[in-house]
């Protein structure tokens, strides 16, 4: 992926990093240079160095490079921001298990189940989904072959099953679950709203619940957070990103995800969201 233009060119700054207490200051400093930066969660105890001084007259990209070099952090470009965090969160070293081929009987059953994904009965569709997941990674080639089908329900469910099978080996950041939904017209308008609005947000050690209350009050975003996940603490400052980008960063850095249902953003664990999209998980 090419580096955005605003990461090039000289900059004069003295960056002093002293662990997690300095995050909001670093974020705001880099934002003033036009750099959308977000820190993923990490433990200070896992850093190589927790006190790093970086001299001036470096490009913004060089500043981030050196910060990561001395601390052991890494960075990637996700959701229109440079996300800084532990490398294993971005680039999992363990890949998915090798798919074992289905025998003839299992393959025939899988083909039958794929057709049932478009059944008129939701119970039949969900039962077929669960059974396909139980067949494991060996069913993936068959599912991938359905991507050009004209039946939208089959295409959508096959994609969701593939994601269910791959979920434990994915990196922390990727497309939000709401982008994989088949939405009603009303919920589609909610999604379009979060795609367009660009809120000006700065939070230092705020809870996810506090942030969502702010968004509800100031941007008309209704929400529901399952369990006690609203207690997750977030430090962030927006730099022109859309609300979709910001929510993706905030939720995924806490191993959460979100969908749109009944005009609300539903926030849950990644596994919880996948169960809603793919009931067999």
For the chain, give every domain's residue range: 5-90, 104-169, 177-277
Of 1.10.3210.10, 3.90.950.10, 1.20.1250.20, 3.55.50.30, the CATH number of 5-90 is: 3.55.50.30
| Confidence at residue 275, expressed as pLDDT on a 0 to 100 scale | 81
Give, in words, the CATH class of 177-277. alpha beta
- DSSP annotation of 158 reads H
Percent of the chain that is helix, strand, coil (3-state, to 5): 50, 15, 35
**Tens-place pLDDT, residues 79-98:** 988 888 888 888 765 555 56
Listed as ranges, residues in the chain with pLDDT below 50 are 1-16, 57, 280-281
| Confidence at residue 7, expressed as pLDDT on a 0 to 100 scale | 45
Share of the chain above pLDDT 90, in %: 36
Q: What would the DSSP string read from start to end of 181-249? A: ----HHHHHHHHHHHH-----EEEEEEHHHHHHHHHHHH---EEE-TTGGG-EEEEE-SS--HHHHHHH
């Amino acid at each position: 992926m090419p580096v955005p233009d605003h990461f090039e060119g000289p900059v004069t700054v003295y960056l002093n990093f002293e662990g997690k207490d300095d995050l909001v200051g670093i974020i705001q400093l880099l934002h003033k240079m036009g750099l959308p930066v977000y820190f993923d969660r990490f433990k200070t105890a896992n850093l190589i160095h927790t006190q790093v001084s970086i001299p001036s007259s470096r490009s913004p990209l060089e500043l981030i490079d050196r910060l990561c070099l001395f601390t052991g952090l890494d960075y990637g470009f996700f959701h229109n921001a440079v996300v800084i965090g532990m490398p294993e969160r971005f680039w999992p070293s363990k890949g998915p298990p090798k798919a074992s081929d289905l025998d003839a009987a299992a393959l025939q059953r899988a083909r039958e189940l794929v057709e049932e994904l478009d059944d008129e009965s939701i119970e039949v569709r969900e039962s077929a989904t669960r059974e396909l997941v139980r067949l494991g990674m060996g069913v993936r080639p068959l599912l991938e072959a359905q991507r050009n089908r004209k039946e939208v329900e089959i295409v959508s469910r096959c994609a969701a099953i593939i994601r269910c099978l791959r979920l434990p080996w994915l990196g922390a950041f990727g497309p939000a679950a709401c982008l994989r939904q088949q939405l009603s017209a009303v919920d589609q308008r909610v999604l379009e709203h979060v795609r367009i609005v660009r809120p000006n947000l700065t939070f230092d050690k705020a809870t996810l619940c506090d942030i969502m209350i702010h968004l509800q009050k100031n941007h008309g975003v209704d929400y529901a957070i399952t369990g006690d996940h609203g207690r997750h603490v977030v430090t962030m400052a927006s730099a022109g990103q859309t609300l979709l980008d910001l929510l993706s960063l905030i939720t995924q850095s806490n191993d959460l995800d979100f969908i749109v249902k009944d005009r609300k953003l539903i926030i849950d664990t990644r596994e919880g969201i996948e169960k809603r999209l793919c009931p067999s998980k």
